[in-house]
Chains A and B, each alone.
Chain A
Protein backbone atom coordinates (compact mmCIF):
# COMPACT_ATOMS: atom_id res chain seq x y z
CA UNK A 1 0.00 0.00 0.00
CA UNK A 2 0.97 3.63 -0.36
CA UNK A 3 1.50 5.73 2.73
CA UNK A 4 2.49 9.32 3.38
CA UNK A 5 5.90 9.89 4.85
CA UNK A 6 7.25 13.25 5.99
CA UNK A 7 10.89 14.06 5.25
CA UNK A 8 12.41 16.84 7.33
CA UNK A 9 15.70 18.73 7.18
CA UNK A 10 17.35 18.77 10.58
CA UNK A 11 20.64 20.31 11.51
CA UNK A 12 23.05 17.76 12.97
CA UNK A 13 23.41 19.50 16.30
CA UNK A 14 22.67 18.31 19.82
CA UNK A 15 19.16 19.19 20.96
CA UNK A 16 17.70 19.56 17.45
CA UNK A 17 15.98 16.18 17.42
CA UNK A 18 14.60 16.73 20.93
CA UNK A 19 13.23 20.11 19.88
CA UNK A 20 11.59 18.56 16.85
CA UNK A 21 10.03 15.63 18.70
CA UNK A 22 8.67 17.93 21.41
CA UNK A 23 6.99 20.08 18.78
CA UNK A 24 5.08 17.02 17.55
CA UNK A 25 4.32 15.74 21.05
CA UNK A 26 2.86 19.09 22.05
CA UNK A 27 0.41 18.75 19.15
CA UNK A 28 -0.45 15.15 20.12
CA UNK A 29 0.94 13.73 16.92
CA UNK A 30 1.78 10.06 17.10
CA UNK A 31 5.02 8.95 15.45
CA UNK A 32 4.72 5.41 14.16
CA UNK A 33 8.11 5.10 12.52
CA UNK A 34 11.26 7.19 12.41
CA UNK A 35 14.49 6.94 10.48
CA UNK A 36 17.43 9.30 10.06
CA UNK A 37 20.02 9.62 7.30
CA UNK A 38 22.76 11.91 8.47
CA UNK A 39 25.81 13.81 7.23
CA UNK A 40 28.27 15.76 9.35
CA UNK A 41 26.26 18.98 9.14
CA UNK A 42 22.65 17.89 8.73
CA UNK A 43 20.33 14.94 8.38
CA UNK A 44 17.09 13.98 6.73
CA UNK A 45 14.59 12.69 9.22
CA UNK A 46 11.82 10.51 7.81
CA UNK A 47 8.72 9.81 9.82
CA UNK A 48 5.38 8.07 9.50
CA UNK A 49 2.76 9.79 11.64
CA UNK A 50 -0.96 9.45 12.29
CA UNK A 51 -1.78 12.93 10.89
CA UNK A 52 0.63 13.69 8.05
CA UNK A 53 -1.13 16.80 6.70
CA UNK A 54 -1.36 18.45 10.12
CA UNK A 55 2.28 17.56 10.76
CA UNK A 56 3.46 19.10 7.48
CA UNK A 57 1.58 22.31 8.24
CA UNK A 58 2.96 22.42 11.76
CA UNK A 59 6.51 21.96 10.50
CA UNK A 60 6.18 24.62 7.82
CA UNK A 61 4.86 27.08 10.38
CA UNK A 62 7.92 26.37 12.50
CA UNK A 63 10.49 26.81 9.72
CA UNK A 64 11.42 23.16 9.27
CA UNK A 65 12.05 22.47 5.58
CA UNK A 66 9.96 19.38 4.89
CA UNK A 67 8.22 17.38 2.18
CA UNK A 68 5.30 14.98 2.10
CA UNK A 69 6.37 11.91 0.15
CA UNK A 70 4.33 8.92 -0.94
CA UNK A 71 6.20 5.74 -0.19
CA UNK A 72 5.44 2.08 -0.52
CA UNK A 73 4.68 0.13 2.62
CA UNK A 74 4.74 -3.66 2.56
CA UNK A 75 3.53 -5.73 5.48
CA UNK A 76 5.32 -9.05 5.78
CA UNK A 77 5.44 -11.83 8.34
CA UNK A 78 8.09 -11.19 10.95
CA UNK A 79 10.06 -14.26 9.93
CA UNK A 80 13.52 -14.78 8.43
CA UNK A 81 13.47 -14.57 4.65
CA UNK A 82 10.46 -12.25 4.27
CA UNK A 83 12.52 -9.30 3.19
CA UNK A 84 14.56 -11.42 0.80
CA UNK A 85 11.46 -12.15 -1.27
CA UNK A 86 10.61 -8.51 -1.70
CA UNK A 87 14.13 -7.44 -2.54
CA UNK A 88 14.61 -10.28 -5.03
CA UNK A 89 11.46 -9.36 -6.89
CA UNK A 90 12.46 -5.72 -7.09
CA UNK A 91 15.98 -6.62 -8.20
CA UNK A 92 14.72 -8.99 -10.89
CA UNK A 93 12.64 -6.13 -12.26
CA UNK A 94 15.52 -3.66 -12.13
CA UNK A 95 13.83 -1.45 -9.58
CA UNK A 96 16.34 0.30 -7.39
CA UNK A 97 15.62 1.31 -3.84
CA UNK A 98 16.62 4.82 -2.77
CA UNK A 99 16.22 4.01 0.89
CA UNK A 100 14.26 1.73 3.13
CA UNK A 101 13.46 1.18 6.79
CA UNK A 102 11.25 -1.13 8.76
CA UNK A 103 9.12 -1.14 11.86
CA UNK A 104 6.90 -3.58 13.77
CA UNK A 105 3.38 -3.65 12.50
CA UNK A 106 0.43 -3.24 14.83
CA UNK A 107 -0.69 -6.66 13.65
CA UNK A 108 1.06 -9.14 15.88
CA UNK A 109 3.82 -11.13 14.21
CA UNK A 110 4.29 -8.93 11.17
CA UNK A 111 6.54 -6.08 10.13
CA UNK A 112 6.18 -3.09 7.83
CA UNK A 113 8.86 -2.40 5.25
CA UNK A 114 8.93 1.14 3.90
CA UNK A 115 10.43 1.41 0.44
CA UNK A 116 11.34 4.55 -1.49
CA UNK A 117 11.56 3.79 -5.20
CA UNK A 118 11.49 5.91 -8.36
CA UNK A 119 8.18 4.58 -9.62
CA UNK A 120 5.74 3.56 -6.91
CA UNK A 121 3.10 2.11 -9.27
CA UNK A 122 5.60 -0.06 -11.10
CA UNK A 123 6.95 -1.44 -7.83
CA UNK A 124 3.44 -2.08 -6.57
CA UNK A 125 2.59 -3.95 -9.77
CA UNK A 126 5.54 -6.28 -9.71
CA UNK A 127 5.05 -7.03 -6.02
CA UNK A 128 1.39 -7.83 -6.69
CA UNK A 129 2.27 -10.08 -9.61
CA UNK A 130 4.74 -11.94 -7.41
CA UNK A 131 1.97 -12.51 -4.91
CA UNK A 132 3.71 -10.54 -2.17
CA UNK A 133 1.06 -7.86 -2.10
CA UNK A 134 -2.64 -8.45 -2.31
Chain B
Protein backbone atom coordinates (compact mmCIF):
# COMPACT_ATOMS: atom_id res chain seq x y z
CA UNK B 1 0.00 0.00 0.00
CA UNK B 2 1.42 3.41 -0.93
CA UNK B 3 1.77 6.06 1.76
CA UNK B 4 -0.99 8.11 0.09
CA UNK B 5 -3.39 5.19 0.07
CA UNK B 6 -2.50 4.43 3.67
CA UNK B 7 -3.11 8.05 4.65
CA UNK B 8 -6.54 7.98 3.01
CA UNK B 9 -7.41 4.72 4.78
CA UNK B 10 -6.20 6.03 8.14
CA UNK B 11 -8.20 9.24 7.72
CA UNK B 12 -11.37 7.39 6.85
CA UNK B 13 -11.01 5.06 9.82
CA UNK B 14 -10.02 7.86 12.19
CA UNK B 15 -13.04 10.03 11.34
CA UNK B 16 -15.40 7.10 11.92
CA UNK B 17 -13.65 6.07 15.12
CA UNK B 18 -13.77 9.55 16.64
CA UNK B 19 -17.46 9.91 15.83
CA UNK B 20 -18.21 6.50 17.34
CA UNK B 21 -16.14 7.12 20.47
CA UNK B 22 -17.68 10.57 20.98
CA UNK B 23 -21.16 9.12 20.72
CA UNK B 24 -20.58 6.07 22.91
CA UNK B 25 -18.01 6.94 25.58
CA UNK B 26 -18.98 9.79 27.94
CA UNK B 27 -15.41 9.90 29.30
CA UNK B 28 -13.98 10.71 25.84
CA UNK B 29 -16.85 13.09 25.07
CA UNK B 30 -16.03 15.11 28.20
CA UNK B 31 -12.33 15.15 27.39
CA UNK B 32 -13.03 16.39 23.86
CA UNK B 33 -15.44 19.04 25.14
CA UNK B 34 -12.82 20.25 27.60
CA UNK B 35 -10.41 20.66 24.70
CA UNK B 36 -13.14 22.36 22.63
CA UNK B 37 -13.08 19.81 19.84
CA UNK B 38 -16.01 17.99 18.23
CA UNK B 39 -16.06 15.04 15.81
CA UNK B 40 -16.78 17.54 12.99
CA UNK B 41 -13.34 19.06 13.53
CA UNK B 42 -11.68 15.75 12.68
CA UNK B 43 -11.64 15.31 8.91
CA UNK B 44 -8.46 13.32 8.57
CA UNK B 45 -5.09 12.34 10.03
CA UNK B 46 -3.94 15.97 9.73
CA UNK B 47 -6.48 16.90 12.45
CA UNK B 48 -5.22 14.29 14.92
CA UNK B 49 -3.23 16.89 16.89
CA UNK B 50 -6.48 18.62 17.88
CA UNK B 51 -7.55 15.67 20.01
CA UNK B 52 -6.79 15.34 23.73
CA UNK B 53 -4.20 12.81 24.95
CA UNK B 54 -5.09 9.77 26.94
CA UNK B 55 -2.73 8.57 29.65
CA UNK B 56 -2.44 5.76 32.13
CA UNK B 57 -4.06 7.97 34.78
CA UNK B 58 -7.16 8.25 32.57
CA UNK B 59 -7.29 4.47 32.41
CA UNK B 60 -7.04 4.29 36.16
CA UNK B 61 -9.75 6.86 36.63
CA UNK B 62 -12.07 5.15 34.17
CA UNK B 63 -11.40 1.66 35.59
CA UNK B 64 -12.97 -0.71 34.79
CA UNK B 65 -15.72 0.19 32.33
CA UNK B 66 -15.30 3.93 31.80
CA UNK B 67 -13.61 3.69 28.39
CA UNK B 68 -15.72 0.87 27.03
CA UNK B 69 -17.16 1.74 23.61
CA UNK B 70 -19.25 -1.41 23.11
CA UNK B 71 -21.83 -3.06 25.34
CA UNK B 72 -20.37 -5.88 27.46
CA UNK B 73 -22.68 -8.28 25.65
CA UNK B 74 -20.57 -7.73 22.53
CA UNK B 75 -17.27 -8.25 24.34
CA UNK B 76 -15.77 -11.71 24.37
CA UNK B 77 -12.54 -11.37 26.33
CA UNK B 78 -10.56 -9.38 28.89
CA UNK B 79 -6.81 -9.03 29.25
CA UNK B 80 -4.91 -7.10 31.85
CA UNK B 81 -1.46 -5.68 32.41
CA UNK B 82 0.83 -7.40 34.84
CA UNK B 83 -1.45 -7.36 37.89
CA UNK B 84 -0.16 -4.15 39.35
CA UNK B 85 -2.46 -2.66 41.96
CA UNK B 86 -3.34 0.95 41.38
CA UNK B 87 -1.96 0.88 37.86
CA UNK B 88 -3.90 -2.06 36.51
CA UNK B 89 -5.24 -1.77 32.98
CA UNK B 90 -8.17 -3.94 32.03
CA UNK B 91 -8.74 -4.14 28.29
CA UNK B 92 -11.85 -5.46 26.58
CA UNK B 93 -12.10 -7.20 23.20
CA UNK B 94 -14.94 -7.86 20.80
CA UNK B 95 -14.58 -10.86 18.48
CA UNK B 96 -13.60 -8.41 15.75
CA UNK B 97 -10.91 -6.92 18.01
CA UNK B 98 -9.48 -10.40 18.54
CA UNK B 99 -9.54 -11.12 14.79
CA UNK B 100 -7.67 -7.91 14.01
CA UNK B 101 -5.19 -8.56 16.81
CA UNK B 102 -4.61 -12.08 15.44
CA UNK B 103 -3.99 -10.46 12.03
CA UNK B 104 -1.36 -8.17 13.50
CA UNK B 105 0.43 -11.08 15.17
CA UNK B 106 0.06 -13.17 12.01
CA UNK B 107 1.94 -10.44 10.12
CA UNK B 108 4.75 -10.64 12.68
CA UNK B 109 4.98 -14.41 12.26
CA UNK B 110 4.89 -14.15 8.46
CA UNK B 111 7.61 -11.49 8.56
CA UNK B 112 9.72 -13.93 10.56
CA UNK B 113 9.31 -16.48 7.76
CA UNK B 114 6.36 -18.37 9.24
CA UNK B 115 3.81 -20.28 7.14
CA UNK B 116 1.49 -23.28 7.40
CA UNK B 117 4.62 -25.46 7.16
CA UNK B 118 5.82 -24.21 10.54
CA UNK B 119 5.44 -25.39 14.11
CA UNK B 120 5.16 -22.35 16.39
CA UNK B 121 6.03 -22.83 20.05
CA UNK B 122 4.35 -20.12 22.11
CA UNK B 123 6.21 -19.88 25.42
CA UNK B 124 4.73 -16.58 26.49
CA UNK B 125 2.42 -16.80 29.50
CA UNK B 126 -1.23 -17.56 28.74
CA UNK B 127 -3.82 -15.86 30.88
CA UNK B 128 -4.48 -12.22 31.59
CA UNK B 129 -1.09 -11.42 30.02
CA UNK B 130 -1.51 -10.77 26.29
CA UNK B 131 1.66 -12.51 25.10
CA UNK B 132 0.44 -16.10 24.97
CA UNK B 133 -3.00 -15.55 23.48
CA UNK B 134 -1.74 -12.93 21.01
CA UNK B 135 0.91 -15.07 19.34
CA UNK B 136 -1.30 -18.13 19.63
CA UNK B 137 -4.00 -16.39 17.62
CA UNK B 138 -1.49 -15.07 15.11
CA UNK B 139 0.05 -18.49 14.63
CA UNK B 140 -3.30 -20.16 14.00
CA UNK B 141 -4.23 -17.43 11.54
CA UNK B 142 -1.05 -18.13 9.58
CA UNK B 143 -2.02 -21.79 9.62
CA UNK B 144 1.03 -22.85 11.57
CA UNK B 145 0.83 -25.81 13.89
CA UNK B 146 0.60 -24.09 17.26
CA UNK B 147 2.15 -25.37 20.49
CA UNK B 148 0.55 -23.44 23.39
CA UNK B 149 3.30 -24.17 25.92
CA UNK B 150 2.87 -21.05 28.07
CA UNK B 151 5.89 -19.98 30.12
CA UNK B 152 8.06 -22.03 32.45
CA UNK B 153 8.83 -25.75 32.75
CA UNK B 154 12.01 -25.51 30.72
CA UNK B 155 12.55 -29.25 30.53
CA UNK B 156 9.17 -29.79 28.91
CA UNK B 157 9.72 -26.81 26.60
CA UNK B 158 12.91 -28.40 25.28
CA UNK B 159 11.35 -31.83 25.00
CA UNK B 160 8.41 -30.58 22.91
CA UNK B 161 10.73 -28.32 20.94
CA UNK B 162 12.81 -31.29 19.86
CA UNK B 163 10.16 -34.04 19.73
CA UNK B 164 7.61 -32.00 17.78
CA UNK B 165 10.13 -30.07 15.70
CA UNK B 166 9.22 -26.50 16.61
CA UNK B 167 10.56 -24.09 13.98
CA UNK B 168 9.52 -20.74 15.47
CA UNK B 169 9.79 -19.84 19.16
CA UNK B 170 7.78 -17.00 20.71
CA UNK B 171 8.68 -15.84 24.23
CA UNK B 172 10.43 -13.06 26.14
CA UNK B 173 14.07 -12.53 25.10
CA UNK B 174 15.29 -13.39 28.58
CA UNK B 175 13.45 -16.70 28.52
CA UNK B 176 14.82 -17.39 25.04
CA UNK B 177 18.32 -16.81 26.38
CA UNK B 178 17.60 -19.16 29.26
CA UNK B 179 16.20 -21.84 26.94
CA UNK B 180 19.28 -21.46 24.73
CA UNK B 181 21.57 -22.08 27.68
CA UNK B 182 19.56 -25.04 28.89
CA UNK B 183 19.56 -26.49 25.38
CA UNK B 184 23.35 -26.24 25.28
CA UNK B 185 23.69 -27.86 28.71
CA UNK B 186 21.35 -30.76 28.06
CA UNK B 187 22.69 -31.44 24.59
CA UNK B 188 19.29 -30.66 23.06
CA UNK B 189 20.92 -27.99 20.88
CA UNK B 190 21.71 -30.42 18.04
CA UNK B 191 18.17 -31.79 17.90
CA UNK B 192 16.49 -28.38 17.65
CA UNK B 193 14.89 -27.44 14.33
CA UNK B 194 14.21 -23.80 15.20
CA UNK B 195 14.82 -21.24 12.47
CA UNK B 196 13.36 -18.08 14.01
CA UNK B 197 12.25 -16.53 17.25
CA UNK B 198 9.82 -13.70 17.97
CA UNK B 199 10.79 -12.07 21.22
CA UNK B 200 9.18 -9.14 22.99
CA UNK B 201 7.49 -7.76 26.15
CA UNK B 202 10.79 -6.54 27.56
CA UNK B 203 13.78 -4.49 26.48
CA UNK B 204 16.75 -6.29 24.95
CA UNK B 205 19.96 -5.24 23.29
CA UNK B 206 21.62 -6.11 19.97
CA UNK B 207 24.24 -8.07 21.93
CA UNK B 208 21.50 -10.17 23.46
CA UNK B 209 20.02 -10.72 20.00
CA UNK B 210 23.35 -11.98 18.66
CA UNK B 211 23.84 -14.15 21.70
CA UNK B 212 20.45 -15.84 21.28
CA UNK B 213 20.89 -16.15 17.51
CA UNK B 214 24.29 -17.82 17.93
CA UNK B 215 23.23 -20.17 20.70
CA UNK B 216 19.99 -21.34 19.08
CA UNK B 217 21.12 -21.00 15.45
CA UNK B 218 18.09 -18.86 14.59
CA UNK B 219 17.17 -15.38 13.47
CA UNK B 220 15.69 -13.41 16.37
CA UNK B 221 12.91 -10.90 15.65
CA UNK B 222 11.64 -8.15 17.91
CA UNK B 223 7.94 -7.52 18.46
CA UNK B 224 6.26 -4.57 20.20
CA UNK B 225 2.88 -4.02 21.75
CA UNK B 226 0.95 -3.14 24.86
CA UNK B 227 -2.22 -4.39 26.45
CA UNK B 228 -3.93 -1.02 25.99
CA UNK B 229 -3.57 -1.53 22.22
CA UNK B 230 -4.54 -5.25 22.18
CA UNK B 231 -1.11 -6.67 23.00
CA UNK B 232 1.89 -7.83 20.97
CA UNK B 233 1.78 -7.12 17.27
CA UNK B 234 1.41 -3.34 17.28
CA UNK B 235 4.81 -3.36 15.55
CA UNK B 236 7.16 -6.11 14.43
CA UNK B 237 10.48 -6.63 12.70
CA UNK B 238 10.93 -7.78 9.13
CA UNK B 239 13.92 -9.72 7.81
CA UNK B 240 15.91 -6.47 7.52
CA UNK B 241 15.82 -6.12 11.33
CA UNK B 242 16.19 -2.36 11.10
CA UNK B 243 13.29 -1.19 13.21
CA UNK B 244 9.78 -2.53 13.77
CA UNK B 245 7.06 -1.87 11.19
CA UNK B 246 4.01 -0.40 12.87
CA UNK B 247 0.68 -1.84 11.77
CA UNK B 248 -0.41 1.60 10.64
CA UNK B 249 -3.69 0.50 9.12
CA UNK B 250 -4.76 -0.16 12.74
CA UNK B 251 -2.60 2.20 14.77
CA UNK B 252 -1.60 5.77 13.92
CA UNK B 253 1.74 6.62 15.51
CA UNK B 254 2.93 10.04 16.60
CA UNK B 255 6.08 11.16 18.40
CA UNK B 256 5.67 13.98 20.92
CA UNK B 257 7.86 15.94 23.24
CA UNK B 258 6.89 14.36 26.59
CA UNK B 259 7.11 17.70 28.39
CA UNK B 260 5.56 20.22 25.97
CA UNK B 261 3.31 17.55 24.32
CA UNK B 262 4.20 19.10 20.98
CA UNK B 263 4.19 16.75 17.97
CA UNK B 264 7.70 16.12 16.64
CA UNK B 265 8.62 15.28 13.05
CA UNK B 266 9.64 11.72 12.15
CA UNK B 267 13.31 11.10 12.89
CA UNK B 268 13.23 12.96 16.18
CA UNK B 269 13.38 11.17 19.50
CA UNK B 270 10.31 11.50 21.69
CA UNK B 271 7.40 9.72 23.33
CA UNK B 272 5.41 7.34 21.21
CA UNK B 273 1.67 8.04 21.03
CA UNK B 274 -0.85 5.70 19.41
CA UNK B 275 -4.37 6.10 18.13
CA UNK B 276 -6.21 2.82 17.56
CA UNK B 277 -8.48 3.34 14.57
CA UNK B 278 -10.02 -0.13 14.27
CA UNK B 279 -10.41 -1.26 17.86
CA UNK B 280 -14.05 -1.52 18.89
CA UNK B 281 -14.41 -2.34 22.57
CA UNK B 282 -11.48 -0.45 24.02
CA UNK B 283 -10.41 2.25 21.57
CA UNK B 284 -7.39 4.30 22.56
CA UNK B 285 -7.16 7.81 21.16
CA UNK B 286 -3.75 9.49 21.33
CA UNK B 287 -2.62 7.10 24.04
CA UNK B 288 0.71 8.06 25.58
CA UNK B 289 2.83 4.91 25.77
CA UNK B 290 5.63 6.59 27.81
CA UNK B 291 8.09 4.72 25.56
CA UNK B 292 10.76 6.95 24.08
CA UNK B 293 11.70 6.09 20.50
CA UNK B 294 12.25 7.34 16.95
CA UNK B 295 10.06 6.80 13.87
CA UNK B 296 11.65 6.14 10.50
CA UNK B 297 9.53 6.57 7.34
CA UNK B 298 12.32 5.80 4.87
CA UNK B 299 11.30 3.01 2.47
CA UNK B 300 12.34 -0.41 3.77
CA UNK B 301 14.07 -2.84 1.44
CA UNK B 302 11.64 -5.55 2.53
CA UNK B 303 8.96 -3.72 0.53
CA UNK B 304 6.67 -2.88 3.43
CA UNK B 305 5.59 0.74 3.41
CA UNK B 306 4.56 0.97 7.06
CA UNK B 307 6.69 3.28 9.17
CA UNK B 308 9.32 1.71 11.43
CA UNK B 309 9.86 2.44 15.11
CA UNK B 310 13.18 2.01 16.87
CA UNK B 311 13.46 -0.19 19.92
CA UNK B 312 12.23 1.87 22.88
CA UNK B 313 15.22 3.83 24.23
CA UNK B 314 13.79 4.55 27.64
CA UNK B 315 10.69 5.66 29.49
CA UNK B 316 9.28 9.12 30.05
CA UNK B 317 7.95 8.05 33.47
CA UNK B 318 9.49 6.04 36.28
CA UNK B 319 8.11 2.68 35.22
CA UNK B 320 10.56 -0.21 35.12
CA UNK B 321 10.03 -3.33 33.07
CA UNK B 322 11.49 -6.23 35.02
CA UNK B 323 11.24 -9.74 33.62
CA UNK B 324 8.49 -8.45 31.34
CA UNK B 325 6.46 -7.11 34.26
CA UNK B 326 5.67 -3.42 34.71
CA UNK B 327 6.94 -2.17 38.05
CA UNK B 328 6.41 1.29 39.49
CA UNK B 329 8.62 2.43 42.39
CA UNK B 330 5.46 3.81 44.03
CA UNK B 331 4.11 0.26 44.37
CA UNK B 332 7.23 -0.83 46.20
CA UNK B 333 6.97 2.22 48.43
CA UNK B 334 3.35 1.35 49.28
CA UNK B 335 4.33 -2.16 50.39
CA UNK B 336 7.20 -0.89 52.51
CA UNK B 337 5.09 1.75 54.24
CA UNK B 338 2.24 -0.73 54.84
CA UNK B 339 4.73 -2.98 56.60
CA UNK B 340 6.08 -0.36 58.92
CA UNK B 341 9.27 0.19 56.95
CA UNK B 342 10.64 3.63 56.27
CA UNK B 343 10.26 5.36 52.94
CA UNK B 344 14.01 5.33 52.59
CA UNK B 345 14.68 2.60 50.12
CA UNK B 346 16.59 1.94 47.00
CA UNK B 347 15.65 -0.21 44.05
CA UNK B 348 18.54 -1.85 42.25
CA UNK B 349 17.79 -3.50 38.94
CA UNK B 350 20.39 -5.51 37.08
CA UNK B 351 20.64 -8.26 34.53
CA UNK B 352 22.56 -11.39 35.43
CA UNK B 353 22.86 -14.19 32.86
CA UNK B 354 20.22 -12.45 30.75
CA UNK B 355 17.67 -12.46 33.58
CA UNK B 356 16.56 -9.30 35.34
CA UNK B 357 17.23 -9.06 39.05
CA UNK B 358 15.35 -6.82 41.46
CA UNK B 359 16.97 -5.95 44.78
CA UNK B 360 15.43 -3.60 47.30
CA UNK B 361 17.57 -2.03 49.99
CA UNK B 362 15.50 -0.93 52.95
CA UNK B 363 16.69 0.92 55.98
CA UNK B 364 16.07 -1.06 59.16
CA UNK B 365 13.53 0.98 61.15
CA UNK B 366 14.82 1.53 64.66
CA UNK B 367 11.38 0.75 66.13
CA UNK B 368 11.11 -2.66 64.47
CA UNK B 369 14.47 -3.95 65.61
CA UNK B 370 14.35 -6.94 67.91
CA UNK B 371 17.06 -8.98 69.53
CA UNK B 372 15.98 -12.07 67.62
CA UNK B 373 17.48 -13.01 64.26
CA UNK B 374 14.49 -15.19 63.46
CA UNK B 375 12.06 -12.31 64.08
CA UNK B 376 13.98 -10.09 61.69
CA UNK B 377 14.23 -12.73 59.01
CA UNK B 378 10.48 -13.42 59.41
CA UNK B 379 9.92 -9.71 58.84
CA UNK B 380 12.05 -9.88 55.69
CA UNK B 381 10.10 -12.88 54.43
CA UNK B 382 6.82 -11.07 55.02
CA UNK B 383 8.11 -8.15 52.96
CA UNK B 384 9.18 -10.41 50.12
CA UNK B 385 5.74 -12.04 50.12
CA UNK B 386 3.92 -8.69 50.16
CA UNK B 387 6.10 -7.44 47.32
CA UNK B 388 5.42 -10.55 45.29
CA UNK B 389 1.68 -10.11 45.84
CA UNK B 390 1.88 -6.50 44.70
CA UNK B 391 4.34 -6.80 41.81
CA UNK B 392 3.82 -10.33 40.60
CA UNK B 393 7.57 -10.98 40.66
CA UNK B 394 10.06 -11.85 43.36
CA UNK B 395 12.34 -9.20 44.77
CA UNK B 396 15.27 -9.66 47.10
CA UNK B 397 15.03 -7.51 50.22
CA UNK B 398 18.17 -6.32 51.99
CA UNK B 399 18.03 -4.58 55.35
CA UNK B 400 20.60 -1.84 55.65
CA UNK B 401 21.56 0.66 58.36
CA UNK B 402 19.31 3.67 58.94
CA UNK B 403 20.42 6.79 57.05
CA UNK B 404 22.78 4.73 54.91
CA UNK B 405 20.95 5.17 51.62
CA UNK B 406 22.51 7.96 49.63
CA UNK B 407 20.44 11.07 49.45
CA UNK B 408 21.08 13.67 46.83
CA UNK B 409 19.75 17.13 47.57
CA UNK B 410 17.85 15.67 50.49
CA UNK B 411 16.04 13.17 48.29
CA UNK B 412 16.99 9.54 48.02
CA UNK B 413 18.08 8.12 44.69
CA UNK B 414 15.28 5.61 44.38
CA UNK B 415 16.16 3.56 41.36
CA UNK B 416 19.50 2.31 40.17
CA UNK B 417 19.12 0.47 36.88
CA UNK B 418 22.40 -1.22 36.05
CA UNK B 419 21.02 -2.99 32.99
CA UNK B 420 22.42 -1.78 29.73
CA UNK B 421 19.26 -2.02 27.71
CA UNK B 422 19.20 0.94 25.43
Q: Which residues of A contact B (CB under 8 A)?
A: 7, 9-11, 16, 37, 39, 41-42, 44, 46, 60, 63-67, 69, 98, 116
Contacts and interface: CB of A to CB of B under 8 A. Distances in A.
Contact of A63 (B366, B373, B376, B377): B366
Interface stretch (B80-88, B131-139, B318-326, B397-405): B397-405
Nearest to A60: B366
B179 to A, nearest CB: 30
A10 B401 contact: yes
Interface of B: 364-366, 368-373, 376-377, 398-404
Nearest to A43: B373
Contacts of A116: 371
Contacts of B364: 9, 42, 65
Contacts of B368: 65
Given A9-B364, A39-B377, A67 B369 contact: yes
B380 to A, nearest CB: 8
25 contacts: A9-B364, A9-B369, A9-B399, A10-B401, A11-B399, A11-B401, A16-B401, A37-B373, A41-B398, A41-B399, A42-B376, A42-B399, A44-B371, A44-B373, A46-B371, A60-B366, A63-B401, A63-B402, A65-B364, A65-B365, A65-B368, A65-B402, A67-B369, A67-B370, A67-B371
B366 A65 contact: yes
A102 B170 CA distance: 61
B338 to A, nearest CB: 20
Interface of B, secondary structure class, is loop
Contacts of A65: 364-366, 368-369, 402
Contacts of B403: 63
B406 to A, nearest CB: 14
Contacts of B370: 67
Nearest to B399: A42
A7 B366 CA distance: 12
Contacts of A11: 399-401, 404
Given A7-B369, A11-B399, A11-B404, 17 more contacts: A9-B399, A9-B401, A11-B400, A39-B373, A41-B398, A41-B399, A46-B371, A60-B366, A63-B401, A63-B402, A64-B402, A65-B365, A65-B366, A66-B369, A67-B369, A67-B370, A98-B372
A50 B127 CA distance: 63
Contacts of B400: 11, 41-42
A44 B376 CA distance: 10
A9 B370 CA distance: 9
